[in-house]
Amino acid sequence: MNEIKNLQQMNSEAGTCSNDDTSISDLLMKIDTDEESKVKFSDFTGLDGKHVTVGKYCFPLSLHPTLELIIKVRGDVAATSKMNLSIAERIYIMFCASIKEMHDLRLEQITECRILKWRDAIKDALRMNFKVNFAMEHLKKIACAYIGLMERQRLEEVALRISKLEAELSASKKEHSKICERSKEYMDTAKEFIGKPVSLGMLKAENRRLEERNRRRHRTLAMQDLEQSINNYKRENAQILTTINLTTQHYLDIETEKIVLRDELSELSARLQSLNEIESIILMKESNDGEGGTIISLPELCQPILTSADMFPYDDLQQLTTES
């Protein structure tokens, strides 16, 4: 629950980046959309201060471990770029800053704005002919995990609303029963005087004929009141049953949605497992031809956003953490 509360607060602060009326699954479409980049240096922290020269580029010291790890695992991703050196360097720095943020943050700390910022930095690098397709593929995995977390939050909110409605219904029933029990004596007394002089019963000799005349009318009124009470009770009972049915149907709809989501997750897991098996076969074939590869499996999505199995070897990731 603490994760959900923190996530709600972060999404409230980042309200300008998403629209509650639009499905958050549209985030995947936004990642693939080819639009003008809005990322800039000021969007990242730690880019000021001392710089170091790596090859033909000058990098902030804070990004040096990240750059070394990228080069060690992926090679010089900017080697194929033919763009102006100063422009390529700027794009390279923002790309490395995005990779460093992925390493530093957990899924619960991610917002849609941050994902789109990383998208712009990676796409700028791709436009410069950098070999960073691996980063874009991993960003889509991050977006999928973010969407899953948002959907879990929505389920929690709906379950909370159901609980509140059930509590309100129970309290209303108790209040109704209490009022009926408490006021019965007074309501019975009031019926004796309805349509009669309030002096009735005070002077019996004077009111004898009036009592006899009104007795029959009283019985008639009593029957009418009884029928009216029964009708009122039926209406109230129908309203209560309607409320219960609506609440129950709402709960069943939520349970149905949860089942559908679980089925979709199972289907996606099966498809991913199938893809992993196919990729394993391909990599085994490439290994026989003298080329290696790394297999990415579904359990690694539960690891930190930038996992050693996804992008960097575990030993190198440990080295990066120590140097940072």
Angle of the 314-323 helix axis to the 64-74 helix axis, nearest 10:
160
CA distance 304 to 107: 7
**What is the 3-state secondary structure of 292-320?**
CCCCCCHHHHHCCCCCCCCCCCHHHHHHH
The one-character DSSP state at 197 is: -
Residue with tokens 């349970």: 255
- For 197-234, write each residue's pLDDT tens digit: 877 777 765 566 666 777 887 788 888 888 888 888 88
What is the overall mean pLDDT for the chain?
A: 81
* Most confidently modeled range among 71-85, 127-141, 246-260, 290-304: 127-141
**Sequence ranges of the domains in the chain:** 2-151+305-323
- For 163-199, write each residue's pLDDT tens digit: 999 999 999 998 888 888 888 788 888 887 888 887 7
Instruction: Give the max Cα distance, the chain.
Output: 122
Residues found in the chain: 324
Q: Does residue 143 register a pLDDT over 50?
A: yes
Q: Does residue 282 register a pLDDT over 70?
A: yes
What is the band of 295 on the pLDDT scale with cuts at 50, 70, 90?
very low
CA distance 267 to 259: 12
pLDDT (average), residues 118-133: 95
pTM above 0.85, yes or no: no
What is the band of 109 on the pLDDT scale with cuts at 50, 70, 90?
very high
Radius of gyration of the chain (CA): 35
Residues with Cβ within 8 Å of 38's Cβ and at least 6 positions away in sequence, in order, are 117, 120
DSSP 228-282: HHHHHHHHHHHHHHHHHHHHHHHHHHHHHHHHHHHHHHHHHHHHHHHHHHHHHHH
Q: Does residue 26 register a pLDDT over 50?
A: yes
